[in-house]
Chain A
Amino acid sequence: MALLELTGVTRSVRLPDDRVLEILRGVTLSVDAGEHVSVVGRSGTGKSTLLNILGLLDSPTSGEYVLDGTPIGRLSPRARARRRGDDFGFVFQQFNLLPGRTALENVAAPLMYARGRAFWARFRIAADILDRVGLGDRLDTMPEKLSGGEQQRVAIARALVRRPRVILADEPTGALDVDTGGEVMSLLDEIASDTGAALIAITHDLAVAARAQRHYRLADGTLHPITLGAPGQVTEWVGDRPVSSPQHAVPSTFTSTSTPTQAPA
C-alpha cells in the first residue's frame, strides 16, 4: 500500500471578480515510503498548491487523498494538524527560520507540539540532529549570523527533528547558489534515505529534480510523469506512451512567466 495517494485531486479558487480559477485539474499521484519524487514546472502552475495539499496545509476541492490508509477528507482540522506535525517535515525556499531564536531553538520548535519524551527532551534531540547536519558547533547562533547554506541546513534539521514519514521540500535550493544548493540536496537526500522518509521536492531546477527516483511535470494543473536524461532532454509520458518532442522539452532553468490569468504557484 502506498504511503500517500492522490486520486483525481482538483483545487480551484473563486477570484474577486467571481470567476473560478482551476489550479489543479485531476492530479493523481502515489508515493511509497522512502521514495524520492520530484515535481518540476513553471512558476504559477500549481506546484506549491500541490505541496500544500500533500502536507495537509490545504484541502482539495474534489478528489481523494489517502495518507497511510486514512482518507484525509474524513479527519477533523485538529486531527489533520496532528498528522501534519507527526508525519510531515517542511523545507521552504526562504528557510522560514523563526527570528530571534537560535539554531537550536529553531530546530527544537516543532517538538513543542510533540508529546511525551520527545517534548521534554527536545533540546537534546535538536542538538543531535544539528550535529548530524554538521552544525553541532553553531547551536547558539542566531539565523542571521548563518550563511544561506547553513540556514537551509538548520531548516532541514528542523524538518527532520520529529522523524517525519514525508519530507516536503518547496524549492529547497531556490535561494542558494549552485554549489551550495548541490550540497544541501545531497544532505537532504542522504538524511531522508537514512531515516526512511519519502522526499517530495518541487523545483525549477532540473539538476535538483534529477536526484529523485521518479519525476513529474506539472503543467496546466495536471501532473505528467517525465524521464530526465541528459541536460535539457526530457521525455514526457502520456499514459504508457512516451512523447519526446521539442515542444515538451523543459528548460534547465524555469523563468517566471506568471500572468494574472495563470494559477498561483
Chain B
Amino acid sequence: MTGVVGAVVEAWDELRIHKVRVLLALIGVAVAVTAITGITAAAQMMNQVFTEQAERFGGRATTLMVSAWPTGSTTPSPETYDAEFTRVVERYGIEYASRELFTQLIFRFPTGAQQVQAQVVDVDYGAMRRIQPVQGSWFVPSDVDRFAPALVVNETFLAQLGVEELGAPVTVVLGGDDPVRSTVVGVLKNSWAEEGPTVMMLSEHFARWATPDPMWGPVVPSLSLWVPPELADELTGLVRRDLQAALPGTRAEVYQQGEGFDVLEGGVRWVITGIGGVALLLGGLGLVNISLVTVRYRIREIGIRRSFGATSARVFFGVLMESVVATAVAGAVGVMLAIVVIKNIPIEQIFGTPLDDVPPFPTSAAVVGMVSATAVGALAGLIPAIVAVRVKVIDAIRY
C-alpha cells in the first residue's frame, strides 16, 4: 500500500518540481486529447442539430405517417376518419398522435379577404415536430375548448394584420359560410424569405368553424403517430390492417419517417479517430523524448534514491508513474478544454437554429480521451523507466 502511494506521491513531486519541462512535454498530449474528445462531442452535437432539423419536417424517430385515400367515388366522412383514427390511437396506447390536413381558408385582413394555406393539426403536433413559435406559444390542450378558433400563424400572416408584436390579443375573422373571429396565440418564423401567409389550427376548431373550399376536393385527413422505434415495424402492419378493414373503399398506407442521423458513420468515424490517434502518438513521442533526456539528467538522483532503499521495481514504477500521472493530468486538461470549447459553440449562429435538447457532453468521448492519454503515458514512460533501472547505482551517485 505505502509502496504504491509512495510511488504516486514521488511521481507527483517530480512533476511539481519540473513543471516547465512537464508542461512542454504535455502540451502535445493535451491538444491531442482535446482534438479527439472535442471532435467526437462536436459530431454528436451536429447529429442532434441535424436530427432536430429533420424532425421539424418529418417528425420524430419514429413517426408513422398514416393515410387512407379513397380509391373510388365515395369518401368516408370526416367524422368516420376521426372515429377510426381515434380508435387506432386508443387501441395501441399511442401517446403522441396528430391528425393532419392541408387546405385553404379565407381570412379577412385589413387589406381584404385572402385565401391562406392552412394546416389543421392536433395539440401533439407541436411536440412531435419540435415547433418553437418566435412569439406567443403553441396550442395547449385547453385551447380545444375555446369558443373561438385559436391560430398559430407565420410572420407574414401577422404582418398582413398590421401587427408586429403579439402583445395585446390579436384577432382575425375566419371567413366562409359561418364567419368567426379567431385569436392568434402564436407566431412561427417564416420557412423562407418570401413565404406567403400560412396558418395552423386545431382539428376540432376546423371541424366546427371552417368551411373548406369544395374546389380542393374531399377532405381527407391523415394521421401522424410518434411511436417507440422498437414498435414501429409491428405497428406499421397493425395500423394498416386495422384501417384497411375499418375504412372500406380506401387504400390504407402507413410509412415510417424520421430515421436518426449519424454524422460519425462508418469511414468518417475511423478517419476522425485515426487523425486523433496520430496526434496523440506524436504527443507521446515528444513525451518519450523529453522523458529520456530527463532521466539522463536525473541519474544522480536515481542513485541517491537507490541508497535510500529504492528497489529496481520501485525506480521503474516511479519513472513510469511520472509519465502516467502527467499524461492523465494532461488528458483531464484536454477533456476540460474540449468541454469548454464545445459548450461555447454558437450553435444557433452556425446552424441557424437553436437546439431543443442540447446533448450532454458525451461521457464516452471523455473516457476515450482520458484512457488514450494514460495509455500513451504508460507507453512513453516505458523506455525511460527501463533506462532508469539500468543505471548503475555507484556510477549514478558519483555522476
Contacts and interface: CB of A to CB of B under 8 A. Distances in A.
Contacts of A114: 2
B222 to A, nearest CB: 74
Given A98-B301, A113-B310, A113-B314, A105 B13 contact: yes
A85 B315 CA distance: 14
Interface string B360-399: 0000000000000000000000000000000001100100
Nearest to B297: A99
A112 B10 contact: yes
Contact of A96 (B17, B18, B304): B304
A52, A57, A58, A78 interface centre (most CB from chain B within 10 Å): A57
Contact of B394 (A57, A85, A88, A96): A57
Given A99-B301, A100-B18, A101-B13, A109 B308 contact: yes
Contacts of B312: 77-78, 81
A96 B397 contact: yes
A68 interface: no
Given A112-B9, A112-B308, A113-B309, A52 B394 contact: yes
Contacts of A115: 2-3
A77, A84, A162 interface centre (most CB from chain B within 10 Å): A84
Nearest to A98: B301
A110 B313 contact: no
A81 B394 contact: no
Interface string A59-100: 000000000000000000110011111101010100010111
A237 interface: no
A55 interface: yes
A82 B300 contact: no
A67 to B, nearest CB: 14
B311 interface: yes
B3, B10, B17, B311 interface centre (most CB from chain A within 10 Å): B311
Nearest to B396: A57
Nearest to B313: A78
B304 A78 contact: no
Interface residues of B, number: 25
Contact of A81 (B5, B300, B301, B309): B309
Contacts of A85: 308-310
A104 to B, nearest CB: 12
A52 B395 CA distance: 11
B160 interface: no
A114 B2 CA distance: 8
B56 interface: no
B304 A98 contact: yes
Contacts of A84: 306-309
Contacts of B301: 98-99
Interface string B237-267: 0000000000000000000000000000000
Nearest to B18: A100
A245 to B, nearest CB: 35
B308 A113 contact: yes
B305 interface: yes
Interface string A101-127: 100010001101111100110000000
B23 to A, nearest CB: 15
B359 interface: no
A82 to B, nearest CB: 6
B6 interface: yes
A96 B300 CA distance: 8
Contacts of A101: 13, 17
A124 B141 CA distance: 71
A57 B300 CA distance: 14
A61 B305 CA distance: 24
B397 A92 contact: yes
13 contacts: A52-B394, A55-B307, A57-B397, A77-B311, A81-B309, A81-B314, A84-B308, A85-B309, A86-B309, A96-B397, A112-B9, A112-B10, A113-B310
Shortest beta-carbon contacts, A-B, top 6: A85-B309, A100-B17, A110-B308, A81-B311, A119-B2, A113-B309
